[in-house]
Structure formats: structure tokens, C-alpha cells
Amino acid sequence: MRKIILILSIFLSVNLISKELKMEELIWERGESFLFFLQKNQIPLSIYHNLDKEDKELTAEIIAGIKYQILRDENENIEQVLIPISEDLQIQIYKDLEDKYAITFTPISYKIENTNLTFKINKSVYQDIIDNTQNSKLASALLRAYAGTINYTGMKKDDKVVIVYSQKRRLGRVYGDLNIKSAMIEVNKKPYYIFKYGDNDFYDESGKQLESYTFILPVGNVRISSPFNPGRFHPILKKYRAHLGIDYAAPKGTPIKAAGAGKISFRGVKNGYGNVIQITHSSGYMTLYAHMSKFGNYKIGDSVKQGQIVGYVGSTGLSTGPHLHFGMYKNNTAINPASVVRITKDALTGKEKQKFDLVVKDYINEIKHILEAKVTPIKEESFENIVELN
């Protein structure tokens, strides 16, 4: 076990008795299952077996390499465990009023702030973002958003860059994924704008969509039996619920296609997900295909092209009928697959274009104000819940 980084002493007042608790931050080992984790820590397996199907499925969402926390009392007994399963939700193991272990899903709290960044070119767009903010996620997200539409060679020193975006903040530090809404990059004083419109698509000023990284639906356009849910409080069940993928109802044996080109990074059985294939793609994307009846002809490490058959629809794991559970991850965090699956790549027209033009006008005004305000960038320390694995 890799032992770890941060030890704090926390004084918790329980029934007027001060208890000294110690928090350990650990890293989830590759190949470790949730059941194995319970066993290893002498936590009764019944807390897993008593979960319903959906919650069991969520325990398969723990990603190797993720940081989690264990809180122990002075006798080394576990008081609490917190394991993130997405940017929004974590598994919490705790002791109930009868001092018995219990399990629940609790939200991870963070704030979303709308912010912006402006600077003059000194070295390059990418390097200047890093030098100004230390935020490499912002730098790669910006270049990805422009999707190779700019020829940077004519760029001069003192050309300006403006980025309008929102980011999450947790415990005072930048956290999780960020959302670029609009940007302007000057090349030899000529401005190039991009605008986000709709869920995840960028357009230029004229309403033409920029070619971005896109995926196809792995089983074609079939019925969605359960949509993506990042983690919301269920008013009837009175607990937090999440569904970190989309379920597509399809007959057993329906071929499952790779949503994008990539490398097979997992082939095997995963808790409630049954037979699972995972594909690692470029730009920090990963896709997961669960409940397969049969695997395709690809092994771990094999490269696949978009559309190649990686398996067949089934009902393995915790499943009430044949369906594909399709998960999409960006930088190890579950995102809604519907937001990156290709629909159409066209220019906006008619009413849609009129609506878009108003959005563009607002953003161009905002960018003008940001340029006039000349706010000095802040260097950020990031709160990385998810570690990069080598």
C-alpha cells in the first residue's frame, strides 16, 4: 500500500468528549475492488450487499489513482471513509448511532465561479497561460476549443488573449473540470473569437461550428432507458442518486462499436458493471462499455478505430435486461456522453442564428470590458482530487 501524504489532527466533540481523529489521504490502487477494500479494512461486506442495484453499480465507479480519505480514532479504528466517484459525489462509510458501519452517498461541495483571464503574448498562448495562472487545464482546454483553426505563426509579442470561463473551487483551490464560454486570440492584432453555444460546441463569429473532438453512439440511435445523472438528491428515496453514464436498451448480441479511436485500457469484469471494456482516447477522454454478453476481438493494449466492434450487448453484472451502459470520462471524471457525441457539424441558420448573434454580441462586449479593465492574473494552486497515473 502506498502510504501517504497528509496527516492532520482533528478534534471532534462527540457527547462532550473530545476525540482525537487522524486523517489519512490514500490513493486507490489499480485493480482494487470495493469489496476487497472493505475486507482489507475489516468493514463488514454486508454494507455493500445491502445496497440496491443502482448504488452497487456506483461503487464500480471508483477510479484507480483517485485520492480518498480515511479518518481513524486514537486506536486506529476507522471512523469514516470518503471515496470520490465523480466531481460531484462521494461514497461515505461512517459509523451510525449504534456504532455500526453504514454507507451513503454524499455530495462533494464546491463553488462555481465565473471568471476571466487576459494577458499579452510573451512566449506562446499555451506557455503564457501557464506562466500567468499555473493552470495547465485552462491552457489545453483553450487550444482544444480552437481546434487548430488559427495559424499562430503570424503571432506577435503584445497580441492580446482573453478567455471567459467558469471554474469550480473547493477548499479555496481550483477544482475539477472548467468550462470555457468564449475567447479571443489576436494574431498580428487581428482578433479570432470562439463562442460556446449549446452543450459543448464552439462556433466562430459567423456561426460556423468548429471541428472538435467527437464521438459516435456505440449502438446507434436506440432508446435511452436511463439518462446521465451527475448526482442529485432523490426526493422520494431521500438520498443522493447518480447514474454516471447512459443506458441504451438494445437486444442481446447487438454489436457495440468503439465511440472513438483509442486503445483498449480495460477488458474484464467490474463489480456491478459485469463485462466491461474501457477505451482510452486522446485529449484526456475515456469511454466505458458495460454489461456486455461477449467481448470483441481486442485485448488490453490493442488500438481500435472509431466504429470497430469491441463487444456485444448483454445483461452481465447487475442488470435487469439487456442494455449497454455507456460511460464517458474526461480527465478521469464522468461526463455526460450526450455532450460529446456527434450530432451535426453545421453552420447555424434562421432563428437559431438570430439567438446566437445576441449571445455573440454579449460576449464581444464582455471581452471589450475585460480588455479595458486590465485585471492582473492570479496564480492558482489547484486541488487535484484525481491524480494522473503514469
Q: What is the largest CA-CA distance in the chain?
A: 70
Instruction: Specify whether the CB–CB gap between 109 and 169 falls below 8 A.
Output: no
CB of 186 or CB of 247, closer to Zn ion = 247
CB of 325 to Zn ion, least distance (A): 3
CB of 34 to Zn ion, least distance (A): 17
CB of 168 to Zn ion, least distance (A): 25
CB atoms under 10 Å from CB of 138, counted, come to 22
139 in helix, strand or coil? helix
CB of 74 to Zn ion, least distance (A): 42
Total number of residues that touch Zn ion (CB under 5 A): 2
CB of 213 to Zn ion, least distance (A): 23
CB of 272 to Zn ion, least distance (A): 9
CB of 164 or CB of 324, closer to Zn ion = 324
Exposed/middle/buried for 83, CB within 10 Å: 0-12, 13-18, 19+? buried
**By beta-carbon distance, which residue lies closest to Zn ion?**
325
How far is the C-alpha of 246 from the C-alpha of 233, rounded, in Å?
A: 19
171: left (phi over 0), alpha (psi -120 to 50) or beta: left
Nearest CA-CA partner of 112 in 171, 183, 180, 170: 170
Residues 225-254 that bind Zn ion (CB under 5 A): 247
CB of 119 or CB of 248, closer to Zn ion = 248
Question: x-or-dash pattern for Zn ion, window 294-333, by CB under 5 A?
Answer: -------------------------------x--------
How far is the C-alpha of 187 from the C-alpha of 184, rounded, in Å?
A: 10
CB of 137 or CB of 325, closer to Zn ion = 325
Exposed/middle/buried for 334, CB within 10 Å: 0-12, 13-18, 19+? buried
- 55 in contact with Zn ion (CB under 5 A): no
Residues 340-369 that bind Zn ion (CB under 5 A): none
Residues that bind Zn ion (CB under 5 A): 247, 325
